[in-house]
Structure 1
Amino acid sequence: MLKNLLMSGAVTALMTGAAFAQDVTLRLAHFAAETHPGHLAAEAFASAVAERTDGAIAVELFPANQLGNPPEQLEQTILGAIEMNLPTQGGLDKYEKAFGTVMTPFAFNSYAHAHQVLDGPFSDWAGPKLEEQGLVMLSNWEYGFRNITNTIGPINSPDDVKGLKLRTPPELQIVAALEGLGAATTQIAFSELPNALNQGVVDGQENPIGVIYHYKLNDFQDHLALTRHVYNSMVHVINKDVFDGLTEDQQTILREESKKAGDMMRAAVIAQEEDEIGKLEAAGMQVTRPDLAAFSSLMGPARDRVADYSGKENMDTFLSFLK
């Protein structure tokens, strides 16, 4: 890792006192598939930055976990071995617990509600905290509300979730939400998920619609329930030392183009979601739209677990933003 860090062009420039006035290459690594709106937004960001800086800043893209799994990518970004990353709040909360509050089950009632909170009071509050961890938060992108798929049967009520063996990522918030509904959870790397579903190691999994669609998880799953139990988004971050080495004009360009790319991704994810659901149905998935009030009413213990993890003071602050 230290060797990679020292070989980083950006970090080497900083060590020698060079300013990033020209000929800078910034690597942006992320986990989205190349067909996913997240990567398309990253391509738009890279193109716009190159154009506005007259080629002085080149953004090199590494999608689909090419430079390691999400935790590894984020760690490398903090160390400076990778300049930019697109983690979710579930990755960032390993370094700053305030970000853990975002994934509180059923915290947001719509995309507009989530965007209003995250772009406004949450960023003003949590962004400076992240800089203490060596990262600058450029803007919020998108990922989406998460939904359950399985092979056992349709989900119309919380009772239908009881006893299901579901794969989750390691984020406590997601685990707490599904266990609060009576599911048994197990953590399996996403790269191993299709094989686990195909072999029946688990009954199902949960993810945003775009992930289910673009990774063709319907090839292994018969039922999709729009439970929208947790919301999270990609967060565009850059190593703080690297960012501080840029000129003020270059910093402004990165912030502005990051925001534009994030807005583009948001619009694409929201616009495509119903279309992708329709295509999943046409491909044979049975889709249910359960009453979410019944699910949310069972989340008291899960929310307590999230508060314990994130810190009660952080949770109280976050909840004040939702009003």
Structure 2
Amino acid sequence: MLRTLALAAAASTALASAALAQDVTLRLAHFAADTHPAQAAAQQFADRVAARTDGAIAVEIYPANELGSPPEQLEQTVLGAVEMSLPTQGALDKYEKAFGTVMTPFAFSSYEQAHQVLDGPFTDWAAPKLEEQGLVMLANWEYGFRNITNSKKPIESPADVEGLKLRTPPELQIVAAMEGLGATTTQIAFPELPNALNQGVVDGQENPIGVIYHFKLNDFQEHLALTRHVYNSMVHVINKDVFDGLTPDQQAILREESKAAGDMMRQAVIAQEEEEIAALEQAGMKVTRPDLAPFAAKMGPARERVAEYSGAENMATFLGFLD
């Protein structure tokens, strides 16, 4: 009798979970332009999830900060007002400091190294920590190595950065890296950046190549230096309560299709970078490819600031993944 009741209760729970997961609409907010590979990856994710769930899960995509600035998008995801978003580690570290270690200046020497670390030991370590903050990490996507642009002069050495007034996002790692090179930094919301560059409020900014290209920042900036000073990626996250309300099969589909979309975006970003640099040069931008060793050599104080911010124990764990 007890076994029968237990089986009936389990069946009832399963049916309730399945009913809860039917006809779900998940909003996915991100900050990339609608021409950026992130949008193509998001669309692939939406299409495949809809197909594999027979339409039970619909994904609505809101690109280019339609639902607010990047920090606002992530906050809405934590609160459940927007189900999914694509923050970088620099946004996630406001909720879990372990993510702050990823953007340590010059931590990674290549995309291959970054992907190997982030997909393997880093995710195994950090993803459970993030769930404690109400977010489930579905997969790492891409964003890229960050580079400096400015309207004043070519950058061939760290000395050329000294005195420049650069816009950075409100992320300590990037601020520390630019200040370590002698720049003055100011934080301006990305939607306001083109106007700030156009009006000369700042001399320059730093971002991955895809951002510089797709948002046409070369309209306001003459010089691009391939400094590759910080790597970060978009991380596909979903509100934990929303995720827990899906069936196990649906959860597996979200994870699998997020990884597939992230892999596609990685390939697209990497493949397009040299083409985008060439297009920027053809449009009149002057591109320098400085020796990065002198830049990295000046990052001691910046790395110390990142370690203090992220936590010494977290930093030690992360650096262990790089060995």
TM range (shorter): over 0.9
**Matches of 1:20 and 1:275, distance apart in 2:** 46
Q: Which residue of 1 aligns with 2:296?
A: 296
Alignment of 1:237-256 (within 5 A): 237-256=237-256
- For 1:38, the aligned partner's letter is A
Q: Which residue of 2 aligns with 1:119?
A: 119
> Over residues 231-254 of structure 1, what are the superposed CA-to-partner deviations in whole Å (9 max), with x where a residue is unaligned?
000000000011111111100000
Q: CA deviation at 1:20?
A: 3.5
- For 1:55, the aligned partner's letter is G
**Matches of 2:182 and 2:46, distance apart in 1:** 44
Alignment of 1:134-149 (within 5 A): 134-149=134-149
Q: Retained in 2: the 8 A contact 1:197–1:203? A: yes
Instruction: Describe the SS at the equivalent of 2:238.
Output: strand
Query: How many pairs are equivalent?
Result: 308
Alignment of 1:7-46 (within 5 A): 19-46=19-46
**Matches of 2:122 and 2:242, distance apart in 1:** 24
Q: Which residue of 2 aligns with 1:12?
A: none
**Matches of 2:140 and 2:171, distance apart in 1:** 19
- For 2:245, the aligned partner's letter is G
Q: Retained in 1: the 8 A contact 2:17–2:246? A: no
| Consecutive unaligned residues in structure 1, runs of 5 or more | 1-15
**Matches of 1:61 and 1:74, distance apart in 2:** 15
Alignment of 1:1-323 (within 5 A): 19-323=19-323
Per the normalisation by structure 2, the TM-score is 0.94
**Matches of 1:217 and 1:276, distance apart in 2:** 12
Instruction: Describe the SS at the equivalent of 1:211.
Output: helix
Q: CA deviation at 1:179?
A: 0.3
**Matches of 2:68 and 2:20, distance apart in 1:** 26
> Over residues 26-50 of structure 1, what are the superposed CA-to-partner deviations in whole Å (9 max), with x where a residue is unaligned?
1111111100000110000000000
> Over residues 233-277 of structure 1, what are the superposed CA-to-partner deviations in whole Å (9 max), with x where a residue is unaligned?
000000001111111110000000000000000000000000000
**Matches of 1:195 and 1:94, distance apart in 2:** 27
**Matches of 2:297 and 2:209, distance apart in 1:** 23
Against the structure 1 CA distance between its residues 257 and 241, is the aligned structure 2 distance closer, same or farther, given a 3 Å change threshold?
same
Q: Which residue of 2 aligns with 1:8?
A: none
**Matches of 1:191 and 1:307, distance apart in 2:** 30
Instruction: Describe the SS at the equivalent of 2:51.
Output: helix
Instruction: Describe the SS at the equivalent of 1:20.
Output: helix
> Over residues 119-158 of structure 1, what are the superposed CA-to-partner deviations in whole Å (9 max), with x where a residue is unaligned?
0000000000000000000000000000000011110000
Question: Sequence identity of aligned pairs in percent?
Answer: 82
**Matches of 2:314 and 2:141, distance apart in 1:** 22
Q: Which residue of 2 aligns with 1:10?
A: none
Instruction: Describe the SS at the equivalent of 1:251.
Output: helix
Q: CA deviation at 1:162?
A: 0.5
- For 1:145, the aligned partner's letter is F
Instruction: Describe the SS at the equivalent of 1:31.
Output: coil
Instruction: Describe the SS at the equivalent of 1:170.
Output: coil
Q: Which residue of 2 aligns with 1:4?
A: none
- For 1:314, the aligned partner's letter is N
Instruction: Describe the SS at the equivalent of 1:264.
Output: helix
Q: CA deviation at 1:68?
A: 1.0
Q: Kindly name which structure, 1 or 2, has the bigger radius of gyration based on alpha carbons.
A: 2
Q: CA deviation at 1:317?
A: 0.2
Against the structure 1 CA distance between its residues 166 and 225, is the aligned structure 2 distance closer, same or farther, given a 3 Å change threshold?
same
Q: Retained in 2: the 8 A contact 1:19–1:246? A: no
